[in-house]
Amino acid sequence: MSHNLNFFNGRSSMMYVNEAPWHGLGQRLDHPATAEEAIEAANLDYTVVKKPLQAVINGKRRIDVPDYFATVRTDTQDVLGVVGSRYSPVQNRDGFGFFDSLVGQNEAIYETAGALNKGEKIWILARLPGYIKLLGRDVVQKYLLLYNSHDGSSMIRAKLTPIRVVCNNTLSVALAGMEQEVRIKHTPSALEKLEEAHKLLGLSNSVYDLLDTIFKRMALTKVTDKQLIQYVEALVPDNPESESKKRTENIRETILSLHQDVEDAKAIRGTAFGAYNAITEYTDHVIATKDPNRRLNSAWFGSGERLKVKAFQLAQDMLLN
């Protein structure tokens, strides 16, 4: 199952608005008005509970494992993960509910939601009003993403996520002194703290205004072939081992090729934004083709995001030279 989506009662656990996503699965909706509608369409209307964890000794005797619990999905009885005593599950309905006030005020539109694997990782993506327009036609849309895990692997995370429309690249960024993400531990106070995620909306206008300026400066900043090669080498540093050295060279060549051939590259080729976009293209699409199961997690929260943040910071440095 290359898309890695959860399936329940023969339906994929995902909903989307308008165009079908990259894997062509999921239930299409016409702009759901509430998180409840999105959750039901995406098969996310299940609950997760903690169950005492036991160890089986010699195949017979069972003993309790102190201070550790299994998280269990109650409708399927699937074990989703192992957590500690302080972990408190945050249900899908509760975790996504705070989006409703944004949508109700026409400040966001539900775009997609879904679950991965057995349902231990879930997300909802809402599009904010407005967009960033580069060089007259290249559009970057503004999104707010909420991600939760039921297996203890990560905190609840709400973050701003700009996406370049023409190639569907996620543009991970790091802006010094500006908060772009809220992280919340799975504790009894998690729901109360989740309400604080509202402050991301208040910050979103200033953050995206700054990104508008930075992206436009990147798009107008020309880079030479030498600068481009130095940029890629800084992102993918040398590795002395022979096998790793060849792999490093292949990655660099792929990124440089993407800079030349990426969809709609003519307007941004030879610019700092074009160099940065080549990295996001590599991360979101080339790596995903090799291992599609990692696509969402890597692009939004994993190694792919870290590479894109570094790429953004180095592209910003080009603006200072």
Each residue's pLDDT expressed in tens, for the chain with a length of 321 residues: 345 667 766 667 778 887 766 555 677 887 766 788 888 888 899 999 999 998 888 878 888 899 999 999 999 999 999 999 999 999 998 888 777 776 666 677 888 888 888 999 898 888 888 899 988 778 999 988 888 999 998 888 888 889 988 788 889 888 877 778 888 899 988 888 877 766 766 778 888 999 999 999 999 999 999 999 999 999 999 877 667 788 888 899 999 998 887 556 667 888 999 999 999 989 888 875 555 556 667 777 778 889 999 999 999 999 865
Domain of 272 in residue numbering reads as: 221-320
On whether both 57 and 151 belong to a single domain, the answer is: no
**H-run or E-run covering 18:** none
Both tokens of residue 266?
A: 């003519």
3-state secondary structure of 176: coil
Final residue before a domain boundary, out of 154, 179, 206: 206
pTM of the model: 0.82
Per the domain annotation, does 2 fall within a domain?
no
On whether both 25 and 64 belong to a single domain, the answer is: no
Smallest CA-to-CA distance from 115 within 82, 88, 78, 141 is with 78
On whether both 242 and 269 belong to a single domain, the answer is: yes
Final residue before a domain boundary, out of 144, 178, 206: 206
On whether both 160 and 298 belong to a single domain, the answer is: no
What is the count of structural domains for the chain?
3
DSSP 8-state symbol, 222: B
Final residue before a domain boundary, out of 84, 104, 134: 84
On whether both 41 and 17 belong to a single domain, the answer is: yes
DSSP character string of 58-73:
TTTEEEEEEEEEEEEE
On whether both 164 and 30 belong to a single domain, the answer is: yes
Q: How far apart are CA 300 and CA 302, in angstroms?
A: 6
On whether both 59 and 39 belong to a single domain, the answer is: no
Strand partners, 281: none
On whether both 154 and 27 belong to a single domain, the answer is: yes
The order of strands in the sheet holding 61-73 is 48-57, 61-73, 79-84
**Cβ distance 151 to 81 under 8 Å?**
yes
Q: How far apart are CA 53 and CA 67, in angstroms?
A: 9
On whether both 156 and 28 belong to a single domain, the answer is: yes
